[in-house]
Every structure is written in structure tokens, then in C-alpha cells.
Amino acid sequence: MREWHLLGLNTLELIHVDNDYSDVFKSLPPELQLGPQIHTYYLGMKPGKSLFVYPEHLKLLYDRFTTANPKGVVMLRDDEEYNYAPPGLIEEEVLKLDEEGKIFVDLFISDAPDGHPYARKYLPEVFEPQMLAKMEADPWLDTDLLRKVREEGIVPGRPGWSRRWSPEWRAYCDRLAAGESQK
């Protein structure tokens, strides 16, 4: 499985946007991909969930990330970020900077156990207690629920379309929120 990221060419930070086997996801704009996930367990919420962010927060994130990177933002997969290492460094220096968290930091994965400190600078409003509680209560943002209904065939796959944004997934979550049957 490939991991797709956005890389900021100024900050050399990464945003994980999707996992997929095919290159078709590279052609999708980031706002139509799964997007990053927040792990509320690491924010002190018990038992905690893995959550997507709302579309308006995704737009804010990508806009702010683009603003922080005037040289540009590129979509890449797996370890392609090493092609964008600062010039003049040898491979060992690049790897050391990466291990120290000085370059190629994934905003939503690196140091998630510390409460997502890298993501907070781009989306401080998401980390407010009231917003986190709202997000945890919304089935539409629950990554584990999406995986479960995908495996059960409730939300069909479509080539070139992330299930997260499918009308079937949204309708299923709306029925859950209204207290209707899960099937």
C-alpha cells in the first residue's frame, strides 16, 4: 500500500492525505482524499478515536499549509520526500535530520502521542475541547467505523473516489446520527 503525502517545499513538513494501491489518488485534489487523522486518545480522551477532520478544517489546513510554503506544495508517495532534501547534504545528514524531527515531519503522525503538537499550529481550533467532543460524537469522522462498513460492503468503493466522501457513507452516518438502523 502506498502512502500519499503533501510536502511543503519551505517547511519540509508532510501531511498524510491517503493510502492506496493505485496512482489514481495522486490525480485527486487533496480535499477529495481521506485527509489526515487525529487520534483523540493522545489528547486525553478515553477510550479515544481516530477521526478525520471536517471539510472546512481540511480547507483551512491546506490553505494555511500552502501559505506557509510559498515555494509550493507537492504530492508524493512513500519515501519520495528524500528527493526534496536540502541541497548539499549527504544521505547520512538527511537521515539524521529526519530522525531528529527537523525535516519531513508528518504533522498528524509524528509525535501524535504528545498530542499532535505539529498539527496544532495549523489547526488550533480543532484542538479546542468542545470541537474535539463534537468531532468524537460525529460518526462521519470516525475512521474505524468507515473501515468497518467498507469491509462489510455497506459503503461501496468507486475507482478514483475516496469512500470518505461518498454519498453512501454520508447517508449511512446521517441515519446513525438520527438513531435509525445501521443497515
Checking if the pLDDT of 4 tops 70, the result is yes
Contact 51, 142 (CB under 8 A): yes
Q: Torsion angle, CA of 118/119/124/128, rounded to 10 degrees?
A: -100
Q: Vertex 128, ends 126 and 134: CA angle to 5°?
A: 75
pLDDT given for residue 182 in this prediction: 53
pLDDT, one tens digit per residue, over 54-97 is 999 999 999 999 999 999 999 888 778 889 999 999 999 999 99
pLDDT given for residue 46 in this prediction: 86
pLDDT given for residue 16 in this prediction: 86
pTM metric for this prediction = 0.86
Neighbours of 75 (CB within 10 A): 19
Beta strands in the chain (DSSP E): 2-8, 13-20, 38-39, 50-51, 73-77, 105-106
pLDDT, one tens digit per residue, over 103-136 is 999 998 867 788 899 999 999 999 999 999 999 9
Give the pLDDT band (50/70/90) at residue 180. Answer: confident
pLDDT given for residue 5 in this prediction: 86
pLDDT, one tens digit per residue, over 121-177 is 999 999 999 999 999 999 999 999 998 988 888 887 665 567 788 888 899 999 998
Task: Write the CB contacts of 37 (distance below 8 Å, at least 6 apart in sequence).
Answer: 16, 50, 51, 52, 108, 143
pLDDT, one tens digit per residue, over 5-40 is 899 999 999 998 876 655 555 566 666 677 889 999
H-type alpha helices, 28-166? 55-67, 91-99, 117-120, 129-137, 143-151
